């Protein structure tokens, strides 16, 4: 099966969906104080799982949840929504 092309704009509003690392870092820094966070070890393990996952889109977005993985992986209350069971070891 060939690769499915990933659109570069949102279907609803046609805004560019590409996010820079700087934009993600800014969002992350705004959200971090407002949520319960996992520790660094768990965070890195989650991000590694995402980096190796076929559902990861554009290097930053989970294709199942639509979440930015650098943000979702930091939240202690979140889990990996993989159809095959969580790819985040030790998650709730
Ligand atoms: S399915 Fe899970 S491992 Fe894959 S990108 Fe989404 S959150 Fe990450």
Taking only the tens of pLDDT, the chain with its 92 residues reads: 456 666 666 667 666 667 888 999 999 999 999 999 999 999 999 999 999 999 999 999 999 999 999 999 999 999 999 999 999 985 54
Q: At 5, phi and psi to the nearest 5?
A: -65, 140
pLDDT of the residue at 51: 97
pLDDT of the residue at 10: 62
pLDDT of the residue at 1: 47
38 lines ligand 1 (CB under 6 A): no
Longest Cα–Cα distance of the chain, Å, equals 43
Sign of the four-CA dihedral 36, 84, 63, 40:
positive
Atom of ligand 1 nearest to the CA of 72: 7
Residues 90, 16: Cα–Cα separation, whole Å: 35
69 lines ligand 1 (CB under 6 A): yes
pLDDT of the residue at 13: 67
pLDDT of the residue at 65: 96
> Which residue among 38, 48, 55 is best mutated to probe the pocket of ligand 1, counting the most ligand atoms within 8 A of its Cβ?
55
**Dihedral of the CA atoms 42, 80, 59, 13 (nearest 10)?**
-130
Residues 80, 92: Cα–Cα separation, whole Å: 9
pLDDT of the residue at 73: 97
Q: Using CA positions, which residue lies closest to atom 8 of ligand 1?
A: 50
Distance of CA 64 to the CA centre of its chain: 10
Q: Distance, CA 30 to ligand 1 centroid (Å)?
A: 22
């Amino acid at each position: 099966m060939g690769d499915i092309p990933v659109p570069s704009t949102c279907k609803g509003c046609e805004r560019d969906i590409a996010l820079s690392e700087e934009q993600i870092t800014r969002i992350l820094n705004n959200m971090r104080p407002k949520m319960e966070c996992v520790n660094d070890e768990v965070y890195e393990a989650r991000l590694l799982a995402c980096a190796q996952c076929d559902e990861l889109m554009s290097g930053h977005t989970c294709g199942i949840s639509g979440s930015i993985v650098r943000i979702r992986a930091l939240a202690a209350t979140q889990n990996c929504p993989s159809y095959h069971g969580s790819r985040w070891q030790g998650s709730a």
